[in-house]
Structure 1
Amino acid sequence: MKYQGSCHCGRVAFDVEGEIKGALACNCSICQRKGSLLWFVPKAELHLRTPDEAASTYTFNKHVIKHRFCPVCGIHPYGEGVDPQGNEVAAINIRCLEGIDLDTIPVQHYNGRDI
């Protein structure tokens, strides 16, 4: 299925393809503050509708995850990283997708605080 997503003001917009079988709620120092519900997809399934430069990037700790956010409205619609097998992935904040009923998505809690 194809989904459309964006930040609040629309400066950062994208399409993403895949099946949402669940989301991850991480309690690390940034995810807990953002309140993101993350859906991981191969990075090739994330298609930006706005220029890559429209999003700012924040990294911390080991600097391996690019937390992408809108510098205008501050919303974090996605992140970019590499999975344990070395594949590029996108972490989509499903709260930023249109037409999603969040109550129907199973959420797995992840203890990112201890990494």
Structure 2
Amino acid sequence: MAEVMGSCHCGAVRIILDAAPETVTECNCSICRRYGVLWAYYAPNRVRFEPSEPVTDTYQQASRTLAFHRCRTCGCVTHWAPLAGRDPNRMGINARMLDPIVLAAAQVRHLDGAVTERYID
């Protein structure tokens, strides 16, 4: 498998994935619909960041189970990392940071994160 790279708009946060996502998730929960993201899920050991400690700010929703990271310079949401109560082996990468050709090859799934927490497609 070939590595895939992506970055925020200014390039300060670079993401290296061990493989392109086969699926991405569009979620309609209150935060994801506002961010306009498409999530690609990976185990943290399949993702590298350059720099290794990316220059991001974080936001934690009320339940404090996810930390949403955004570039400090350009503001792009790059990923979320799990906090207490979440699977530590799963993180979400904003697939919109990837090259459009990579994103076009992925199947888009629709998650009803607002109500049922189930895929609706």
Q: Settle same-fold status: TM greater than 0.5.
A: yes
Question: Would you say how many aligned residue pairs link Structure 1 and Structure 2?
Answer: 114
Q: TM-score, normalised by structure 1?
A: 0.85
Percent identity, aligned pairs only, is 26
Q: TM-score, normalised by structure 2?
A: 0.82
Instruction: Give the CA deviation at 1:94.
Output: 1.1
The residue aligned with 1:6 is: 7
Instruction: Give the CA deviation at 1:112.
Output: 1.2
Q: Would the alpha carbon gap of residues 57 and 32 (structure 1) be closer, same or farther in structure 2, given more than 3 Å must change?
A: same
Unaligned segments of structure 1, at least 5 residues? none
Unaligned segments of structure 2, at least 5 residues? none
Instruction: Give the CA deviation at 1:103.
Output: 3.3
| CA displacement, residues 43-93 of structure 1 (integer Å, 9 cap, x when unaligned) | 1111111142501111112111111101221101111127x9834222111
Higher helix share: 1
Paired residues for 1:1-115 under 5 Å = 1-81=2-82, 86-98=87-99, 100-114=101-115
Q: Would the alpha carbon gap of residues 85 and 113 (structure 1) be closer, same or farther in structure 2, given more than 3 Å must change?
A: closer
Which segments of structure 1 move beyond 6 Å, counting only runs of 4 or more? none
